[in-house]
Amino acid sequence: MTANRRTTAVLVAAAACAVSLAGCGTGADGAAGAQGAAGPREGAPKKAPQAVRLIGDGSTAYTGAQPHLPKAERLKPGQRPPQFVVFSWDGAGEDGQKLFSHFRKVAAENRATMTYFLSGVYMLPTEKRSLYQPPGRSAGSSDIGFNDIQGVAATVEQLRQAWLEGNEIGTHFNGHFCGSGGVGSWSVEQWKSEIAQAKSFVQTWKTNTGLKDAQPLPFDYEKELVGGRTPCLEGQQNFRAAARELGFRYDTSGVREQVWPERKDGLWDLSMHMVPVPGRAFETISMDYNFMVNQSGTTRGNPAMHQQWGDQMRDGLMAAFRRSYDGNRAPVIIGNHFESWNGGVYMRAVEEVVKGVCTQPEVRCVSFRQLADWLDAQDPQTVAKLRTLGVGQAPQGGWRRFLTSPAAPADPAAPEAPAGPAAPADPAALADPAAAAAPAGSVAQAPDH
């Protein structure tokens, strides 16, 4: 997206919602089985109109429970866990590339739901930029610009339909300030201010754009927002403290090993992890930006290398998927941006991975919120035991024995353990061009863009 780029409730008829696809229905016509969330079925019978409660200026509305959400169920004793894969998008917005709408379609066609981390300033027209008061910066500042009215309207339409299809709308906050004086230096109270403003821009986009007759977003963002990813993966400690007080459920702002998640500071740590870089002696963070930096160091690298770079990212993500699927079944967390870096090869790679993994047996391509729902539904002792498995390590003797008593018979259907845990990530897996000279033994948690 370019740089030009509560409160009295009122009951109204469902005609005011008039949203496409699932409308304001409860989603009972959309299946969400063991393979993951499924979008609305084409030609499904229409539901009777449902009341809508507008919120504030009508930018958002409560329309009932979100459609097409799978029910989180506790594992039975000895049951092998599903393989979760989360595809997430930082700074999600719809611009002329129309990548938001494209990947919504890709997800629906492959039994997947995703998490879209919205940048609040993408809901704020440039002429209203002074409404944003970033911590430590002058009013109206933003390192990623703002939007225009047409861009806000296009983004609202994608957010509406994405939510109705079962996807999650998280936050990437607002001005994306990294480095000195940026989010890494913010206090808990400053993070609370940033979060409040990110919510406000979503809750008042009608007022700020003048689009009074437009359809509302079909959710209460005050309740919908349960997680996010900080800009540049910075400021995580104080962000978590603020997020916990505000009722967030997870954070995905760090980097960890490809093992089962744990709670940190009261939130599920659903951070990205290191993945192989085929043909190289190191691993990198599971994000398009990090592959790009390691390959070209620029968004416009050698065109002759584009095909190879895209294949390398695809194959690296697939290798990470296979070592979880055949090993410890730890969730695979993938981060992306709606960008055409290096000719769009990373978008092509991500799309091929979605198509290659989301329809496989026992795989669930879900949002972070859905993954947190599943983790919350489990016996804490089960999650703790899953966390004893190393990267790529299947349980010795099979899943039935591992997740029941030691005397239980081995699961004959369980995959055999690999020769051993995957090798640790090479410290050369840099995430930031500025980290190119990082000393041996260091791993940079660098900007995500």
Model pTM score: 0.82
What are the φ/ψ torsions at residue 196 (nearest 5 degrees)?
-60, -40
State mean pLDDT over 64-76: 95
pLDDT per residue as tens digits for the range 35-65: 344 444 333 334 434 669 999 999 999 999 9
User: Bigger pLDDT: 18 or 144?
Assistant: 144
State mean pLDDT over 28-36: 33
pLDDT at residue 163, rounded to an integer: 98
User: Bigger pLDDT: 309 or 430?
Assistant: 309
Neighbouring C-beta atoms of residue 264, cutoff 10 Å? 17
pLDDT per residue as tens digits for the range 218-248: 999 999 999 999 999 999 999 999 999 999 9
Neighbouring C-beta atoms of residue 263, cutoff 10 Å? 13
Per CATH, the number for 10-393+416-435 is: 3.20.20.370
Query: Is pLDDT at 158 greater than 70 in this prediction?
Result: yes
Mean pLDDT lowest for which of 30-34, 114-118, 189-193?
30-34
Residues ≥6 apart with Cβ < 8 Å to 2:
95, 145
Residues ≥6 apart with Cβ < 8 Å to 70:
32, 33, 36, 37, 364, 366, 370
What are the φ/ψ torsions at residue 14 (nearest 5 degrees)?
-65, -15
DSSP conformation class of 426: P
Q: What's the mean pLDDT when you consider all of the chain?
A: 84
CA neighbor of 214 nearest in space, from 124, 150, 170, 145 = 150
What are the φ/ψ torsions at residue 79 (nearest 5 degrees)?
-80, 135
Dmax (CA) of the chain: 69
Kindly indicate the confidence band of residue 419, based on its pLDDT and cuts at 50, 70 and 90: very low
pLDDT at residue 20, rounded to an integer: 27
State mean pLDDT over 403-428: 42
Indicate the domain borders of the chain: 10-393+416-435
Q: What is the CA 108 to chain-centroid distance, rounded?
A: 16
State the Cα–Cα distance between residues 441 and 291, nearest whole angstrom: 20
CA neighbor of 71 nearest in space, from 275, 386, 364 = 364
